[in-house]
Structure 1
Amino acid sequence: MTVVQTETKPAQEKDGVCLSPCPIERGMRIIGGKWKGSILWHLQDGPMRFNALARQLGGASKKMVDQRLKEMEQQGLVSRQVLSTRPIAVAYEITPFGRSSLAILEQLKDWAEANEL
């Protein structure tokens, strides 16, 4: 008796076409938004207050940083801690889920440095 193995495609793919977001697209939706990778990179060494983080991201407005941090908090990439209420002071910290992306970001950094155009 001869057993013939057939190659099966993932359930999300039919005839080479993604029926739902492919893994690359899903990953880019999580860490690919503008400033998200940079925010995660700057938080890798420990919590940062909002203003200190915003200064590290020189080209981003405070409104943009605030929007990205809210998105990232909802996604579970960062956590927010209120330090004081008068005046309001908050710090952001990378979560274990967010930390799991750092290896990918390190590879992206290395690739970008090796291929400067």
Structure 2
Amino acid sequence: MSIPLPGKQVRGSKTGKPIMALLDLIGRTWSLGLVWHLREGPATFRELQHRCEKISPTLLNTRLKELKALNIISIAEGGYQLTVQGQSLIEIILPLGQWSIQWANELQEKTDELN
């Protein structure tokens, strides 16, 4: 699988629109999870393996290479870390996390009403 780039055909779209490249990237197994875990701070390969339970070393290596090539993460003294672009992605994702909590609560209430 190639790295999804704006302006290029990506999985699910031939338009080349940047949003489609982003959706392809974050839809890949563990891509968004790695970004989410790196919001906690820099981490080595082994630390990321521990944070991302059940990720294979091969898949972790692949995703780290992709995220690095796309300027979402970089390698620093403390290990892998978010770039400015990666941090701005987290800022966009945080409201989705808040929305998901509200959504889960509402679903639970509906489930409770049905039981």
Query: TM-score band (shorter)?
Result: 0.5 to 0.7
Spell out, residue by residue over 1:38-82, the C-alpha distance to the aligned partner (whole angstroms, 9 max, x if none): 11111123211111111111132222111100100111111124x
Matched, 1:43 2:38: yes
CA 1:65/1:19 → structure 2, altered by over 3 Å: closer, same or farther? Answer: closer
- What is the deviation of 1:23? 4.7
CA 1:73/1:19 → structure 2, altered by over 3 Å: closer, same or farther? Answer: closer
TM-score normalised by length of structure 1: 0.66
Question: Which residue of 2 is the match for residue 13 of structure 1?
Answer: none
Question: Deviating runs (4+, > 4 A) in structure 1?
Answer: none
Matched, 1:32 2:27: yes
Larger fraction in helix: 2
1 or 2 for the larger relative contact order (CA 8 Å, sep ≥6)?
1
| Gaps in structure 1 of 5+ consecutive residues | 1-17, 84-89
TM-score normalised by length of structure 2: 0.67
| Gaps in structure 2 of 5+ consecutive residues | 1-12, 108-115
User: Pairwise mapping of residues 1-117 of structure 1 onto structure 2 (< 5 A)?
Assistant: 20-81=15-76, 91-116=79-104
2:91 partner amino acid:
A
Distance 2:53 2:19 in 1: 28
2:94 partner amino acid:
E
Distance 1:23 1:73 in 2: 17
RMSD: 2.5
**Between Structure 1 and Structure 2, whose CA radius of gyration is higher?**
1
Larger fraction in strand: 1
Identity across matched positions, percent: 28
